[in-house]
Amino acid sequence: MANYVIQATESTIKRMEQYYNSYITGHLPAGALFVAKKNGCTITAYRSGKVLFQGKEAEKEAQIWSIPASQQPTLKEQNTRSSRLSIVSAVGSDEVGTGDYFGPIVVVAAYVAKEQISSLAKMGVKDSKQLTDEAICRLAPLLMEKIEYEQAVLSNHTYNQWQQNGMPQTKIKALLHNEAIKKLVQKLAPASPEAIIIDQFIERDRYFLYLEGERHVIRDHVYCIPKAETVHIAVAAASIIARYLFLHEMDKLSEQMGMNLPKGAGEHVDRAAASLIQTHGEASLEACAKLHFANTEKAKQIAMKFK
């Protein structure tokens, strides 16, 4: 049995846990954060930062996460790049809905020309997570009139099909980002953005690895940057519009299901899902929820208690 060990950062291990979410097993050896089994490979992540890959696919799986230190940019190089990118005409791309049990995933790509950067900043454009939903509902329509944008919305039904067929959420997000960016680049032609900045949910190499086999992949001037909304205002604009569209999708789903569907994935969501099961049956969740979330089983248990 082949064994490979890599040393990963805390943020990388968190992304790995999300990536392998549907493959995680219940047994944990001492010091382990999670164990996953995928396609003949067992992946064990430890609190020390070490990640062990075992099995016939160990080398292939480990290579997804291995980035030689010689290829990693220095802090100075990162700061220089961010400073340069912040003042160019750019497309920013961000997503919402990935952590919400109810509702679709919405990705928006937004284009901000360098001449628009100052005026958008004066409008109060910043990361949507720093704004209330009420503020977003006031700001987004103004923003949508001012800049070019495109969206990719993945329904819960399709999301569940893809997930049940073994597609990890990170690949789903890669496909949606490429789709929104592709539509926007086509709309902007013959003009071309100087940069395309994705709020990083995955390293750039792995982003393109997930897009292998797709007919039209946007590759030129693409950057995957953590906290990208602090690098270019186009990403912040995309996050605001994406949140606004997500809220509208949630309103439509709530009307369809005959009850207010809460955001997030906490206990209040468990109770709402249980209510749906009691009223419309378990199958109703397929159209409005991400079924692989732990909320599904919790909701079933709550619904059983009140039968």
> Per the annotation, where are the binding residues?
94-95, 199
Q: What is the DSSP string of 30-76?
A: TTEEEEEEETTEEEEEETTSEEEEEETTHHHHHHHH---GGGSPPHH
3-state SS class at 109: strand
Q: Which residues pair with 111 in a beta bridge?
A: 91, 148
256 CA to centre of own chain: 25
34 and 28 Cβ atoms separated by less than 8 Å: yes
**Residue at 46: amino acid letter:** Y
109 and 93 Cβ atoms separated by less than 8 Å: yes
Residue 266 CA to residue 75 CA, distance in Å, equals 37
**Residue at 266: amino acid letter:** G
Name the binding residues for a divalent metal cation: 94-95, 199
Q: What are the two backbone dihedrals, phi and then psi, of residue 105, each rounded to the nearest 5 degrees? A: -100, 130
User: Maximum Cα–Cα distance for the chain, whole Å?
Assistant: 61
Report the alpha-carbon angle 185-81-183, nearest 5: 10
